[in-house]
Amino acid sequence: DAEITQSPRHKITETGRQVTLACHQTWNHNNMFWYRQDLGHGLRLIHYSYGVQDTNKGEVSDGYSVSRSNTEDLPLTLESAASSQTSVYFCASSELQGLQETQYFGPGTRLLVL
Amino acid sequence: ELKVEQNPLFLSMQEGKNYTIYCNYSTTSDRLYWYRQDPGKSLESLFVLLSNGAVKQEGRLMASLDTKARLSTLHITAAVHDLSATYFCAVDDLGFGNEKLTFGTGTRLTIIP
């Protein structure tokens, strides 16, 4: 079955370190998204991509970067981790089917920056 | 900038009762989504509402969309414990073919036996 996976599922790192979170989907979807979830803020969009070599900044992109070298993967990099980036990170993918474009979410990565 | 507001943020209700969650948004859009999240889990799609007046129903949940009022509602009928979760609405603000969702802050629903 097609799916979307994230790794690692849990990560503890130190301030200033570079961290990369992986996202892999097997639906062959063109659109992929990264969100962070914090109490009181719901989900906020970090970066998104509509296809290979396409990346766009979302609402809270400072301190994060992504690259899209193939359809299946959209890794999220924290260039220099900060305590404010402690959060739960969700990756999602979607594809237009008729008028409907539902996003399918990965299981999430819990990141703690000490 | 698109704003999406949900209310209430927290809702505790008894089994068997009816209640409604409201989702207001600040710009014109004709695509609205409802998601469910169980504690510690990912988000699961519930409904996609694609036009003014759209109504979708699944079991004890019914969602509707009024694009003129920029309002969507999620109505819970005769609540049962299994419906305890956090519910998010999300609005697509880039239109057809290039989806980019803005989420509400969520409504944490607790059903009390």
pLDDT number for residue A51:
92
DSSP states along A30-50? SEEEEEEEETTTEEEEEEEEE
Q: What is the pLDDT of residues B29-58, one digit of tens each?
A: 778 999 999 999 999 999 999 888 889 999
- Residue A23 near residue A76, CB atoms below 8 Å: yes
Q: What is the pLDDT of residues A15-53, one digit of tens each?
A: 999 999 999 999 999 999 999 999 878 899 999 999 999
| Number of neighbours of residue A68 by Cβ within 10 angstroms | 20
- Chain B residues closer than 8 Å to A107 by CB: 41-42
- Six-digit token string for A31: 């659109």
Using an 8 Å CB-CB cutoff, list residues of chain B that contact chain A: 31, 33, 41-45, 48, 50, 88, 90, 92, 96-106
Contact A101 B42 (CB under 8 A): no
Closest residue in chain B to residue A88, using alpha carbons only = B40
Quick one: which H or E segment has residue A11? Answer: strand A10-13
Separate counts of helices (H) and strands (E) for chain A: 0, 11
Could you give the percent of chain B with pLDDT greater than 70?
A: 96
Contact B103 A31 (CB under 8 A): no
Per-residue pLDDT at B94 exceeds 70: no
Minimal Cβ distance to A96: which of B90, B97, B103: B97
Q: Which residues contact B69 (CB under 8 A, 6 or more apart)?
A: none
Minimal CA separation from B35 to chain A, in Å: 10
Closest residue in chain A to residue B107, using alpha carbons only = A42
Lowest mean per-residue pLDDT among A11-15, A35-39, A86-90, B1-5:
B1-5
Closest residue in chain A to residue B34, using alpha carbons only = A102
Minimal CA separation from A63 to chain B, in Å: 20
Closest CA to B6 of B21, B27, B26, B28: B21
Between CA B43 and CA A35 the distance in angstroms is 12
